Amino acid sequence: MPLRSDWSARPCAIARSLDVVGDPWVLLVLRDALLGARRFEQFRERLEIADNVLSRRLQAMVAAGLLRKATYRGEQRTHQEYLLTEAGADLLPVLNALALWGEKHTTPPRPDAHIAIVHTACGETSSSADACDNCGTPMTAGDTAWRRSWHTPELTELRPADNN
Amino acid sequence: MPLRSDWSARPCAIARSLDVVGDPWVLLVLRDALLGARRFEQFRERLEIADNVLSRRLQAMVAAGLLRKATYRGEQRTHQEYLLTEAGADLLPVLNALALWGEKHTTPPRPDAHIAIVHTACGETSSSADACDNCGTPMTAGDTAWRRSWHTPELTELRPADNN
DNA sequence: GAAGTAGACTTCCTTTGAGCAAGTGAACAG
DNA sequence: CTGTTCACTTGCTCAAAGGAAGTCTACTTC
């Protein structure tokens, strides 16, 4: 008797997706990963998540194929890092759809706190989750960015996103 | 010390959205509501959810403004029903994005179990979550349907979707 | 008008995981 | 060889999930 139901073998693709990403922390980790976070400490600081919860989530996300764990040599020491897989990066439209809905239907703490989806390939903001409504092409994690009007803890030690 | 964090006052619209819909049951209830379910009993049967959990979710979703509760006179008796609000219906792109991701990255129990997003306004399937990639117009709950290749418990007692 | 039934819940119970605090161990820096 | 940072793990408490069962109305049928 688990605490949560198992939807991994449902015929409905929505249910199967929710079996993987139907957890707010998973989506928030993906959000920060798409913003450039890679290390345990970066996720922990930016998400204000308890250590054990983050640890479990990262492990589960690696097991689910959303992230890939790697060791790399930084300037001072070696680090563990969690890199987006293709499956993880492909969740961008879900996060975009959530961002658009939140902008429309929830109230920000300050009236000037807003997020916009920018298709960097053409430079325009988009009001669609997965297709640039300026140039019409599909948006992927590689050519899309979020422009946020508030400041966030800086992401230090960002290496080029080689993803390999 | 709540069991779950509160993201309702975050500057990030994604976090605020997840405060409302960051629960798999909420999205699954919305899915079935978009498929035409309205009554407690319909949700319960189709979702295989425990009574108490469904009851709590429906109440929370009404409080969050995703559903609206109403009483209506059926053929045999009066019924309670839960109708989508505009905010609830506007989550269609999120569900579409999840469906597209699930079709691409998860394995169905049978190889022929698939879901497609159909823009009924023009009759074509779409590979975008919120814009018909055939005719280019934004898709809303009113002109979009899911074509599923498996059968589901029939939705009986469907009244016309007047939504008022 | 008594008994039965379906719908929409509520209550009770056990188990799990969230959130918090604190501890551990390896890798380096001084 | 002491201190610090990073990436965890362990222990605790308490709320919610999931299961089962009970309750309270309508309403139908005898």
> How far in angstroms lies nucleotide D10's C1' from the CA of residue A59?
17
Q: Is the CB of B7 under 7 A from strand C?
A: no
Name the pLDDT band for A74 (thresholds 50, 70, 90). Answer: confident
Q: Are residues A29 and A74 in the same domain?
A: yes
Q: Is A141 helix (H, G, I), strand (E, B) or coil?
A: helix
State yes or no: pLDDT of A159 exceeds 60: no
Closest to B66 (Cα-Cα) out of B28, B102, B106, B105: B28
pLDDT of res. A112: 93
Query: B35: domain CATH number?
Result: 1.10.10.10
In a domain, B111, yes or no: yes
Amino acid B163: pLDDT:
45
Contact indicator for B156, B150 with CB cutoff of 8 Å:
no
Measured CA angle at A28 (ends B86, A154), to 5 deg = 120
Among residues A67, A87, A107, which one ends one of the domains? Answer: A87
Last residue of a domain, one of A44, A72, A87: A87
Q: Are residues B59 and B119 in the same domain?
A: no
- Report the C-alpha gap between A142 and B154 in whole angstroms: 42
Does residue A157 lie in a domain region?
A: no
Q: Does the residue B65 lie in any domain?
A: yes
A11–B90 CB contact, under 8 Å? no
- Domain co-membership, A142 together with A112: yes
Location of structure tokens 């698939």: B114
**Do A16 and A69 reside in the same domain of the chain?**
yes
Encoded tokens for B158? 């469907």
Within a domain: residue A161?
no
Do residue B71 and residue B122 come from a single domain?
A: no
Range of the domain at A67: 1-87
Assess whether B2 and B77 both reside in one domain. Answer: yes
Residue B157 pLDDT exceeds 50: no
Q: What is the mean pLDDT of residues A53-79?
A: 92
| A23 backbone dihedrals φ, ψ, rounded to 5° | -150, 125
Query: What is the average per-residue pLDDT within B141-164?
Result: 71
Judgement on whether residues A67 and A119 belong to the same structural domain of the protein: no
**Across the strands, what pairs with B117?**
B126, B146
| Whether B99 and A17 lie within 8 Å, measured CB to CB | yes
Q: Which residues of A touch B65 (CB under 8 A)?
A: 105
- Picking from A87, A114, A144, the residue at the C-terminal end of a domain is A87
> What share of chain B in percent tops pLDDT 90?
80
8 A C-beta contact, residue B17 and residue A102: yes
Report the 10 Å Cβ neighbour count for B58.
20
Q: Report residue B155's pLDDT band, with 50, 70 and 90 as the boundaries.
A: low
CA angle B62, B10, A138 (to 5 degrees): 85
Residue A51 scores a pLDDT above 80:
yes
Which is more confident, B129 or B72?
B129
**Residue B92, token pair as written in the block:** 């269609």
Query: How do residues A90-145 score in pLDDT, each as one tens digit?
Result: 999 999 999 999 999 999 999 999 999 999 999 999 999 999 988 889 999 999 99
**pLDDT tens sequence across B29-87:** 999 999 999 999 999 999 999 999 999 999 999 999 999 999 988 877 889 999 999 99
pLDDT at residue A22 is higher than 70: yes
Please say if the pLDDT value at position B26 is more than 50.
yes
**Is residue A66 domain-shared with residue A7, that is, in the same domain?**
yes
**A37 Cβ contact partners less than 8 Å away, ≥ 6 residues apart:** A43, A46, A155
A96 with A83, same domain: the answer is: no
Measured between CA atoms, the residue of chain B closest to residue A105 is B87
Do A4 and A38 lie in one domain? The reply is yes
The domain tally of chain A equals 2
Q: From B105, which residue of chain A is nearest by alpha-carbon distance?
A: A87
Which pair of tokens denotes residue B39?
């009554």
Residues B104 and B75 in one domain: no
- The pairing of beta strand B144-148 with beta strand B124-126: unpaired
Residue A78 and residue A139 in one domain: no
**Cα Rg of chain A (Å, integer):** 17
Q: Give the pLDDT score at A73.
A: 83
Contacts of A15 (CB under 8 A, 6+ apart): A7, B28, B31, B102
Question: In the prediction, which pLDDT does A155 show?
Answer: 67
